[in-house]
Chains A and B, each alone.
Chain A
Amino acid sequence: MADTAVGATTEPEHGSDPSRRDFIHIAAIAAAAGGAATLVWPFIDQMNPSADTRALASTEFDLTKVAEGQQVTIKWRGKPLFVRNRTQAEIAKAVADDNVNLPDPQKDADRVKPGKANWLIVGGNCTHLGCVPTFGGGEYGGWFCPCHGSVYDTSGRIRKGPAPTNLVVPEYAFLTDTKVKIG
């Protein structure tokens, strides 16, 4: 289309002011291009999560189902989420390691809600390439990722291996002592 305007106006023509003629062609092309660009947005946005998917983006979970020392894996936004009821020993171990040289330094207290240190809720995907780590593997008492050998501690912090960051703590809130709303 750009050639259109150039071709049209470079021809020797007589009569009206050439700059005005240019303006008409440029305006027409700009308007067409602007319209096309606007139309592209719906075609792109349709691939974003649809309204029904977005509506499921938050979930409520009843913690009474998880006994001390146990872990329940729930599906949240299509991905696993670990809900772990930690023992005092696990908590102590995590707190003790707060000041060692961590690849992604974070205090254990910052990864749980105040007064609810036994409840650890973390995303169940390894921060390396998304595999699901298993609990009880590795030398830090936490999770071990079978794909590429990342090792997490009892706070879900990365300790060894290729993963760059700690297991993600999702946005959540306690609705009651036994009920959390995730997302």
Chain B
Amino acid sequence: MLRKLSVIAAAAGLLVAGAASPAFAAGGAMHAKDVQWSFEGPFGKFDQAQLQRGFKVYREVCSACHSLKLVAFRNLGDKGGPFYNEKYPNSNDNPWVKAVAKDYEIADIDGETGDAIKRPATSADRFPAPFPNEAAARAGNGGALPPDMSLLAKAREAGPDYIYSLLVGYVDPPKGLTVPTGGHYNPYFPGDLTSAWHGDHKNVPKGGFIAMAAPLKADLVTFDDGTKSTLDQQAKDVSAFLMWAAEPKLEERKQTGFAVLIYLVLLSGLLYASYKTVWRNESH
């Protein structure tokens, strides 16, 4: 009986897991496209060339409005990062990292005069924000706040898939949809378009209005490794870069996990053998 019960319980558990997945309000957004990422799966790793390209997209396009405040320049040279190099185990010495950092300016206080100054960033600094504070960020973007990008890939359902889908998903609004000024229709952006829709009320288009206009287009960024700079390529690369920015320890985590699981399976096997030996002469 118990066996049957456990089967029922397991089935019910699966049902819960399946049914409890994200629920959206009426309309909702389109499901993000499923991209095959190099960092998926138990042995997933970041593709360093892709991270470098993605970083270039961030640097030349996104960083005009979006901060990356939790990421330090030295992180770029950490293991698994875009500029990791075995020759520089200490990422602070990595010449690529130093070169990138030098191009940024950090607000600081002069130690002698006490004046507010700007100094070139060092590898220990974090990426400076494009706007001094939230009000300035809103004022510069028509009232909308460009979210910080450090955790974006973990702070959205479907993470990098969502970011990619959103970036390539800008389309002309369907007829019958009133787009407000400063808004841009995107079917992957979560929202509820019921009040802006003048067509059949049973077929409200999916998606929402996003304040950001389509930020990427073909050849906007020139990739140093000669990869063709299509919209699709830029969107994929920057999404991968943002996944790295959100979860820089992903590779280490998955590699450790594999070793731990192997160990636990072996340990369980040994304990099972031990258990069987101990109980061999006991009926139960």
Q: Do chains A and B touch in the complex (CB under 8 A)?
A: yes
Is A31 within 8 A of B266, CB to CB? yes
Q: Which chain A residues lie closer than 8 Å to B72 at the CB level?
A: 52, 55
Q: Mark A11-29, 1 if CB is under 8 A from B, else 0.
A: 0011100000100110110
* C-alpha spacing A27/B270, complex, angstroms: 7
**Of A8, A14, A31, A65, which one neighbours B267 at CB under 8 angstroms?**
A31
Nearest-CB residue, chain A, relative to B279 = A8
Q: A24-B270, A55-B124 are in contact. Are A13 and B92 (CB under 8 A)?
A: no
Is A24 within 8 A of B123, CB to CB? no
* C-alpha spacing A21/B273, complex, angstroms: 9
Asked whether A32 is an interface residue with its Cβ less than 8 Å from the other chain, the reply is yes
Q: Which chain A residues lie closer than 8 Å to B264 at the CB level?
A: 35
Q: How many residues of B contact A (CB 8 A)?
A: 20
Q: Which chain B residues lie closer than 8 Å to A14 at the CB level?
A: 281
Asked whether B271 is an interface residue with its Cβ less than 8 Å from the other chain, the reply is yes
Question: Number of A-B pairs whose CB atoms are under 8 Å?
Answer: 44
Q: Which chain B residues lie closer than 8 Å to A24 at the CB level?
A: 270, 273-274, 277
Nearest-CB residue, chain B, relative to A20 = B277
Q: Mark B235-278, 1 if CB is under 8 A from A, else 0.
A: 00000000000000000000000000001101100110110011
Is B267 within 8 A of A52, CB to CB? no
* C-alpha spacing A56/B125, complex, angstroms: 9
Q: Least Cβ distance of A74 to chain B in Å?
A: 8
Q: Mark A63-75, 1 if CB is under 8 A from B, else 0.
A: 0010000000000
* C-alpha spacing A121/B274, complex, angstroms: 63
Is B124 within 8 A of A52, CB to CB? yes
Is B92 within 8 A of A35, CB to CB? no
Is A56 within 8 A of B273, CB to CB? no
Is B270 within 8 A of A58, CB to CB? no
Nearest-CB residue, chain B, relative to A12 = B281
**Of B78, B112, B123, B278, which one neighbours A8 at CB under 8 angstroms?**
B278
Interface of A is mostly: helix
Is A28 within 8 A of B278, CB to CB? no
Asked whether B284 is an interface residue with its Cβ less than 8 Å from the other chain, the reply is no
Is A28 within 8 A of B270, CB to CB? yes
* C-alpha spacing A143/B72, complex, angstroms: 39
Max count, chain B CB within 10 A of own CB: residue among A13, A14, A24, A25:
A24
Interface of B is mostly: helix
Is A56 within 8 A of B280, CB to CB? no
Q: Which residues 76-104 of A sit at the B interface, judged by CB distance below 8 A?
A: none
* C-alpha spacing A14/B270, complex, angstroms: 21
Is B273 within 8 A of A35, CB to CB? no
**Of A28, A51, A58, A65, which one neighbours B274 at CB under 8 angstroms?**
A28
* C-alpha spacing A24/B269, complex, angstroms: 10
Q: Least Cβ distance of B273 to chain A in Å?
A: 5
Q: Which residues 31-64 of A sit at the B interface, judged by CB distance below 8 A?
A: 31-32, 35, 51-52, 55-56, 58
Is B263 within 8 A of A25, CB to CB? no
Q: Which chain A residues lie closer than 8 Å to B278 at the CB level?
A: 8, 25
Is A55 within 8 A of B271, CB to CB? no
**Of B267, B277, B281, which one neighbours A25 at CB under 8 angstroms?**
B277
* C-alpha spacing A31/B227, complex, angstroms: 49
Q: Which chain A residues lie closer than 8 Å to B78 at the CB level?
A: 51
Can you report 18 A-B residue pairs in the complex whose CB atoms are below 8 A from each other? A13-B280, A15-B280, A24-B273, A24-B274, A24-B277, A25-B277, A25-B278, A27-B270, A28-B273, A31-B263, A32-B267, A51-B74, A51-B78, A52-B72, A55-B72, A55-B123, A58-B92, A65-B111
Question: Residues of B at under 8 Å CB distance from A?
Answer: 72, 74, 78, 92, 111-112, 123-124, 263-264, 266-267, 270-271, 273-274, 277-278, 280-281
Question: Residues of A at under 8 Å CB distance from B?
Answer: 8, 13-15, 21, 24-25, 27-28, 31-32, 35, 51-52, 55-56, 58, 65
Known: A24-B270, A28-B273, A55-B92. 13 other contacts (CB 8 A): A8-B274, A13-B280, A15-B281, A24-B274, A27-B270, A28-B270, A31-B263, A31-B267, A31-B270, A51-B74, A56-B124, A58-B92, A65-B111
